[in-house]
Amino acid sequence: MATTEFGHTVRRWREQLAPDTVGLPAGGRRRAIGLRREELALLAGISVDYLTRLEQGRASNPSTQVVEALTRALRLPAVERAHLFRLAGLAPPGPEAVPAYISPSVQRLLDRLSGTAVAVYDASWTLLVANPSYGALMGDPSEWRGHQRNGVWRHFLGPGGRVRHTPESRRGFEAALVADLRVAAGRYPADQRLRRLIADLRANSGRFAELWESGAVGRHEAARKTVDHPQVGPLTLDCDVLTVAGSDLRIMIYTAEPGTEDADRLALLTVLGTQVLAG
């Protein structure tokens, strides 16, 4: 069970973290140099009310996902991350679990790509963090919870996405996703969250079950994709996936060829963010 010290520690680290360190403007009148509670809640993807209760010791038993989100939002190095997990009454995720830790150096890289559509996934294709440009392009992920944040689950059992597929490309995409997930399952056989995800997919998606039974293994490689955006129309973009050595994190980056209509549309989305355009 999380102790009062957990809340005190989160608040202390929040108040020591300068806004510009996490890519937020430092302007306006502030009583302290650190982040406001609303800002940390936004970065971590949790409600302000829940963060308030955690800091005040009125909420206990935060989930592994919540603690992990707070460690990312606070930009904690490995030692402080492990300390926060223990204060929450949780064991820090070990080598048998799918890594979800985004190091400060990777986070700085993401900060420098703020004008580019970028998202970070773990080895099971669960979304860890996405910048506003990515949310504008692919849909706002801030309300997604649990399996909803997993790209494989969203494709087979959820609402899908905005990437356009032909029947042939869909078959290839699905086969690559399942083969990639099988690699993760073999690498992290003790990860309970991953095992529950696969069980849910096998039980509820005939197509996934068929592909899973094939036993194929491989790596999902990104390529040129067409995204059907509901406001600005179709964009044909290059989608590259960079793997972070030693952590199995996947950094997905969408870019457009300079001087094209696709580049203009992508730039417009970056300015507009996730707001809905008036008809």
- Residue % of the chain over a pLDDT of 90: 48
Q: Number of folded domains in the chain?
A: 2
Greater model confidence, 215 or 164: 164
Q: Is the model's pLDDT at 168 over the cut of 50?
A: yes
Residue 195 pLDDT exceeds 90: yes
Q: How confident is the model at residue 278 (pLDDT cuts 50, 70, 90)?
A: very low
Whether residue 38 is found in the same domain as residue 117: no
Distance CA(48)–CA(33), nearest Å, equals 19
The enclosing domain of 31 has a CATH number of 1.10.260.40
> Does residue 99 fall inside a structural domain?
no
Residue 223 lies in a domain: yes
pLDDT tens, residue by residue, 12-33:
999 998 887 877 766 666 666 7
For residue 262, give the amino acid letter: D
The whole domain housing 249 covers 104-272
User: Are residues 118 and 66 both part of a single domain?
Assistant: no
Residue 180's CATH number: 3.30.450.180
Q: Do 54 and 113 share a domain, yes or no?
A: no
Of 4 and 222, the structure prediction assigns the larger pLDDT to 4
Arithmetic mean of pLDDT, 73-93: 87
pLDDT at 276: 43
Contact 104, 75 (CB under 8 A): yes
Of 98, 93, 96, 103, nearest to 72 (Cα)? 103
Q: What is the pLDDT of residue 257?
A: 93
Q: Does residue 81 lie in a domain region?
A: yes
Quick one: three-class SS letters along 144-155? CCHHHHEHHHHH
